[in-house]
Amino acid sequence: MNNIQFDADLIRRYDTTGPRYTSYPSALAFQAFTPEQYQTQAHLSNEDLIPLPLSLYVHIPFCDTVCFYCACNKVVTKQYGQAETYLTYLFREIALQAKLYDRDRIVEQLHWGGGTPTFLNHDQIRALMAELRSHFTLDNSDSRDFSIEIDPRSVSSETIALLKEVGFNRFSLGVQDIDESVQRAVNRIQPIGKTMEIIQACRAQQAKSISIDLIYGLPLQTVERFMRTLDTVIALAPDRLSLFNYAHLPHLFKPQRRINVEDLPSSDEKLQILQRSVERLSAAGYVYIGMDHFAKPDDELALAQQNGSLHRNFQGYTTHADCDLVAMGVSAISSVGECYSQNEKQLDTYYAALDQGKLPVCKGLILNEDDQIRRTLIQKLTCQFELDIGQFEHTFNIPFADYFQREIALLRTMADDNLVILEPSYLRVTARGRFLIRNICMVFDVSLRKKVPEQHFSRVI
C-alpha cells in the first residue's frame, strides 16, 4: 500500500492539537440555539427540490462499568431500570423529531452509539427499533447501512442474532487493546476469546461489515505489546479498523484521573507504536482512509474514497454523503440543511425539556456562506485528499486564489515540506502529508484564529 508515507521527524515538527473535523465549524463553536431555530431548518429541508434521505443517530449513554480512558458522554450505572426511564423520554423525542420530516424521506443510514447501546436488554432493543420504524420510513433493502456499537463483554451470539433480526447489518466492536496488563490499567477486562466469539457471531449473521476500534497511547503499552495486539486483530480480519490516539485530558474527563500518568508511554514510544502499526496494517493490505481509519481495499469506505463519494460526519467516515443527519438522545448532534444542533448533555435537562413537550435542543449554529465554503473544502481534503480548484470555484462562484490568499501563503511552507502540492488547478495532499491532514485542514479553519480559551482538542497524532 503506497497511499501513505510515515515521516516521524515531520510528524514531531507538526505535532499540535486540533479538531477532528467531524464537522466544520466544530462543536466547540456552537452557541445557544433554540428548538424553534432547528424546526425551521428541518421544515426548509423538506422543501428542497429533491429532499435528501435521512440518516438517524440514536445515543444510548449507559455503561455498567467505567473505562478509565473514556471521553464519551456516558452514564455509568448498574441500575438497568434507568434505561427504561430513558427510553420513555427517547420515544417522546423520536415522535417530536419525526413530525418535522416528510414520511417519504427514506432512512438510508441508522447508527446507535453511546455509551454502550447493548446496555439495553433484548426487549428494549426490539422496542426502540419498533418505535423508530413506526415514526420513520426505514430502508429495508440490502443497501441499507444500519450499524451499532458493541461492547463484546455485554452481548452474546443470541444478541447478535436479535440485532440482525431487527435490521442491523454492520457492527463496530470496541477492543482497544488485548494485553491483560493494559486492560487492568484502564479497567476494561475483555478476554480475546469473548471478542472472537462475537466476531464469529457477526459473521454467522452475514454482517456487511465488522469494524474494530483500537487505542494507542494507553498506560503500560509498549511497541512490542501493541504489535501483539495488532497481529491478533489482523488475524481476525475486520473489514474496517480504527486506530485512535489516546488523549489524556483528566481536567476534562474525571475517569482519566484514575490513570497513572507515569504508566503512559512517552511521546517517542507512542510515535513508534503508530509507525509500526501503519507498517503492519499496510503489509496486511489495509488502505488508509484518513484520520485514524483503515479498511480493506474492497470495503465500501475504500471504494467510496476512490469514486469521490466518501463523506465525514459526527459518526466518522461514511458512504452516505447526501443525507440529513437527525440525531436523538442526550448530547446527540444533528446536521440538517445548513445547521448543526445539539441536545442537552445532562439527563435531567434532557428530560425536563421533553416534559415540557419541547425538543431538547440547546446549542448549535446556522452556517453562513463562508462556513459552507470552508466545510466543503475540508470535507474534500479529509475524504479525498484533493480539491479540484476549478470545480470548487464554479460551485461557489469565487476566485480561489483571492478568497484564500492568507491560507495559500500558509500552505507554501507545507508545500516546501512535501505535505501538499498546490497548483492553480488543484490542491493535493501527498502520501507524506496524509497523516497530517488535520494540520492541513486547520489552515482553512477561521474559528481557530479566534483563540477561544475553552477550546480543548486532542493532539493531531
Tens digit of pLDDT for each residue in 376-389?
999 999 999 999 99
State the Rg of the chain over Cα: 22
Among all chains, which residue has been given the C-alpha cell 460526519?
A: 313
Q: What is the mean pLDDT of residues 370-375?
A: 96
Quote the pTM value: 0.94
- In this prediction, residue 210 carries a pLDDT of 98
Q: For residues 252, 9, 243 and 374, what is the CA-based torsion angle, rounded to 10 degrees?
A: 70
159, three cell numbers: 444478541
pLDDT exceeds cutoff 60 at 1: no
Asked if residues 374 and 396 have their Cβ atoms less than 8 Å apart, the reply is: no
Among all chains, which residue has been given the C-alpha cell 495559500?
A: 408
Sheet with 420-423, edge to edge strand ranges: 386-388, 426-429, 420-423
Q: List pLDDT tens digits, range 221-254.
A: 999 999 999 999 999 999 999 999 998 989 888 9
Say what percent of the chain tops pLDDT 70.
97
User: What is the β-pairing status of strands 75-76 and 240-245?
Assistant: unpaired
- In this prediction, residue 332 carries a pLDDT of 97
CATH of domain 27-327: 3.80.30.20
- In this prediction, residue 228 carries a pLDDT of 97
Q: Which helix (H) or strand (E) holds 110?
A: strand 106-114
- In this prediction, residue 315 carries a pLDDT of 80
- In this prediction, residue 453 carries a pLDDT of 47
**109 vs 106, 197, 359, 433, CA distance in Å?**
9, 27, 22, 31
Q: List pLDDT tens digits, range 387-421.
A: 999 999 999 999 999 999 999 999 999 999 999 99
370, three cell numbers: 463562508
pLDDT exceeds cutoff 70 at 362: yes
Identical fold, 1-25+368-461 and 27-327: no
Q: Is 233 helix (H, G, I), strand (E, B) or coil?
A: helix
Asked if residues 71 and 192 have their Cβ atoms less than 8 Å apart, the reply is: no
Residue 422's DSSP bridge partners are 427
Task: Measure the CA–CA gap between 130 and 17, rounded to whole angstroms.
Answer: 42
CATH of domain 1-25+368-461: 1.10.10.920
Q: What is the mean pLDDT of residues 276-280?
A: 94
- Helix-helix angle 389-396:369-384, to 10 degrees: 160
Asked if residues 332 and 313 have their Cβ atoms less than 8 Å apart, the reply is: no
Residues in the chain: 461
pLDDT exceeds cutoff 80 at 423: yes
Asked if residues 293 and 240 have their Cβ atoms less than 8 Å apart, the reply is: yes
Q: List pLDDT tens digits, range 88-128.
A: 999 999 999 999 999 999 999 999 999 999 999 999 999 99
pLDDT exceeds cutoff 90 at 7: no
459, three cell numbers: 493532539
Residue 54's DSSP bridge partners are 107, 324
Task: Measure the CA–CA gap between 16 and 438, rounded to whole angstroms.
Answer: 10
Asked if residues 381 and 436 have their Cβ atoms less than 8 Å apart, the reply is: no
Domain residue limits, the chain:
1-25+368-461, 27-327
Cα 143 from chain centre: 21
**13 vs 8, 16, 251, 461, CA distance in Å?**
9, 9, 26, 11
Asked if residues 113 and 59 have their Cβ atoms less than 8 Å apart, the reply is: yes
Of 20-24, 195-199, 243-247, 316-320, the least confident? 316-320
Task: Share the mean pLDDT of the chain.
Answer: 94
Asked if residues 19 and 26 have their Cβ atoms less than 8 Å apart, the reply is: yes
DSSP 64-80: SS--TT--S--EE-S-T
pLDDT exceeds cutoff 60 at 333: yes
Q: Is 223 helix (H, G, I), strand (E, B) or coil?
A: helix
pLDDT exceeds cutoff 80 at 287: yes
Task: Measure the CA–CA gap between 319 and 230, rounded to whole angstroms.
Answer: 26
Q: Is 214 helix (H, G, I), strand (E, B) or coil?
A: strand
109, three cell numbers: 443510514
Q: Which residues contact 162 (CB under 8 A, 6 or more apart)?
A: 122, 125, 126
